[in-house]
């Protein structure tokens, strides 16, 4: 039976209403921000975050390329409160601690424990960690879980395990390895995942294809449980699919591309998950990346991921 003009008009209005509601939902709930520097202090970090329009930020707690421990003065803690009262803050473990080798060099676990202590001092509730690297992957996975268990035994912060690109002997390149780590965690309520889009792509998941992205999120929900993605690192990739070379790039200007990011950003399953960009610090590119991402948060934009 042919659809009447009135019925067709009602369907159009309903579809428009649903689209408007979806846009509103995504704009209200999706939190977008950057990894920002605190080397000029937390007040300067807050001013920069505000200029960019950040809803959320990520920081290193100390010099990420040094083993030297950090101590915060009272004025530092007060300045951090001014930042965190305005914008939610995630911490990122510095580069040097290799959680997959805590049995080989004690600095790896000491550094991790130290930065967990800094989180507690500042009142930060969550810290992103890389798994590290080790040639013996079975032992590496075991040591990553041991390190996380040591920290959550003495701390109540949420540890966010970040997937890796698979470069070298890095641990956590796929869901299987992340699940093996998670299976060894004693207090699973204190551990979730941080998904890095560049690393996913570099490790061989072609998230430019809608079905691949959809299956990835579904698999995580099935294996880890709902609400186990605590943060997304929203990065394009300078390197190609499956290269296992970790190079972040600007949103839409890398190998992943705008179409894929539009689909990811409009996936209602992750609309409540904060997204942090870790794109290269080049001139005014932070502003450009934020402008690009904001422009993609709308299901009204035409086009779709390439179907294969």
pLDDT tens digit at each of 308 positions of the chain: 555 555 555 666 665 555 554 444 444 568 999 999 999 999 999 999 999 999 999 999 999 999 999 999 999 999 999 999 999 999 999 999 999 999 999 999 999 999 999 999 999 999 999 999 999 999 999 999 999 999 999 999 999 999 999 999 999 999 999 999 999 999 999 999 999 999 999 999 999 999 999 999 999 999 999 899 999 999 999 999 999 999 999 999 999 999 999 999 999 899 999 999 999 987 789 999 999 999 998 644 333 344 44
Range list of H helices, 192-284: 197-202, 210-224, 258-265
Which positions ≥6 away from 136 have C-beta within 8 Å?
Answer: none
Reference 100, options 66, 161, 141; nearest CA is 141
Both tokens of 233, joined, read 């690192």
| Domains along the sequence of the chain with CATH | 32-296 (3.20.20.150)
Both tokens of 197, joined, read 């889009």
Reference 93, options 124, 137, 138; nearest CA is 124
Output the CA–CA distances (angstroms, integers) from residue 103 to 69, 117, 134, 271, in the order listed: 20, 21, 11, 39
Rounded Cα gap, residues 64 and 113, in angstroms: 15
Q: Where are the beta strands (DSSP E) in 131-235?
A: 158-162, 191-196, 229-233
Rounded Cα gap, residues 157 and 127, in angstroms: 7
Reference 123, options 161, 162, 155; nearest CA is 155
């Amino acid at each position: 039976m042919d659809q009447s003009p009135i019925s067709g008009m009602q369907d159009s209005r309903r579809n428009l209403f649903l689209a408007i509601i979806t846009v509103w939902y995504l704009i209200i709930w999706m939190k977008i921000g950057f990894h920002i520097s605190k080397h000029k202090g937390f007040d300067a970090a807050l001013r920069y975050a505000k200029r960019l329009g950040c809803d959320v930020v990520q920081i290193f707690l100390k010099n990420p390329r040094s083993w030297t421990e950090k101590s915060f003065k009272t004025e530092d803690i007060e300045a951090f409160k001014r930042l965190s009262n305005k914008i939610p803050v995630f911490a990122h473990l510095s580069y040097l601690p290799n959680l997959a080798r805590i049995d080989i060099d004690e600095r790896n676990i000491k550094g991790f424990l130290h930065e967990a202590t800094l989180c507690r001092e500042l009142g930060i509730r969550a810290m992103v960690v890389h798994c590290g690297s080790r040639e013996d992957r079975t032992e590496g996975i075991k040591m990553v879980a041991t390190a996380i268990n040591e920290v959550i035994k003495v701390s109540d912060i949420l540890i966010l395990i970040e997937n890796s690109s698979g470069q070298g002997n890095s641990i956590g390149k796929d869901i299987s390895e992340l699940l093996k780590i998670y299976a060894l965690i004693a207090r699973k309520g204190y551990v979730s995942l941080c998904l890095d889009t560049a690393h996913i792509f570099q490790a061989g998941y072609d998230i430019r294809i809608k079905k691949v992205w959809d299956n990835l999120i579904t698999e995580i929900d099935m294996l880890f449980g709902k609400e186990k993605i605590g943060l997304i690192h929203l990065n394009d990739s300078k390197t190609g699919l499956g290269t296992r070379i970790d190079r972040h790039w600007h949103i839409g200007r890398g190998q992943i591309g705008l179409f894929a990011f539009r689909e990811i950003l409009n996936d209602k399953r992750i609309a409540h998950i904060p997204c942090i960009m870790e794109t290269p610090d080049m001139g005014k590119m932070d502003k450009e990346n934020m402008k690009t991402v904001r422009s993609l948060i709308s299901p009204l934009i035409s086009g779709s991921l390439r179907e294969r």
